[in-house]
Structure 1
Amino acid sequence: MTSRTIALYVVMASFALLPACSLFDDSDWREGDEAAEECAKRMSGKLEFKQALMQSEGRFVPTYTFDITKMELEAMQELIVPGSDETAGSRGMAATNENSTAIEAFMASPVDEKGAFFLGHNPALYRVRGQPKPLEDVIASGCARQTAGMRLTNITLQRARSGAAETQED
């Protein structure tokens, strides 16, 4: 065997082992802090926003969905305010006993400014309605709400009604 042949075998073996490296990587994208700028970049690439930007006249009421699976319990408790719906997820699980169906029901249910929780094993979700704002401010406002172990995963929009409520901001 020549040194060139041995080098070729080493390179081929290296390429064969690369996919296995991810098996040993136990990092999770939801852990730690994510800068607001990184969050905004990640969220602005979503198709819904590209379509909505084309029709961005007026103000919108956002509903933010956060994955809170990796949050510390103390930090999660800080999200709970009087009137929060802490049992929305468990009611869904009791009704269906199927995680994906319960998540679909949770995501389809309306939430208010106090928020609602789906405290499943994985994912654990927190949904909360924001104040009316121009579309260009929706993503930045949602990303600003993130804390360690919390990731903005979805934003749904409704057109804001005309009136005094539109003057309020997050």
Structure 2
Amino acid sequence: MEISMSTIAFGFIGFKATDFAAWDSLDYISKHRDQGEWTGLYIAEDEATAKGYLSDKINNSGNGIAYLHKVSVIRPGKLITCLDQSFKTGNIDIPALKQAMRDKGINVEDTDKLTEKLGQLGYYFRCFNNEDGAIEMIIPVELVTNVDMQLYKTCIAKSFVFSCQ
């Protein structure tokens, strides 16, 4: 598995579908700590991918209000990119990924929860989101105070049909 290293600068990085109109990083942290290997704030690089998650933010009858935000980095950091094909299917060889990181000098052990450890080390993570090759960035919970979200569109759903303005 191959990874590349770079930095992420200030500015726009993508879109996020949410069930809240206003971003509160401290509230997010309190609700999302210690939830597993891939815990983090997932940001789609393109609007269409983010819109695909709007239905997860409304009630089971398909009605409600969801929000689409533009997400920006407000504190630059280190970025790991892994565009391995396994991310398209979800069959990710996590030990191989962690080994690739160790090969680049990143101190991640096989027993570490990946995104939690990356957050402790100050790394953002970028990978494929789906089989179509859409790209997402995972902001570890430990780094969510380094991003800001601005409300972009309010989306009203009726029977799972969204109208976004």
TM-score range, shorter chain: 0.3 to 0.5
TM norm structure 1: 0.32
User: Which structure: greater strand fraction?
Assistant: 2
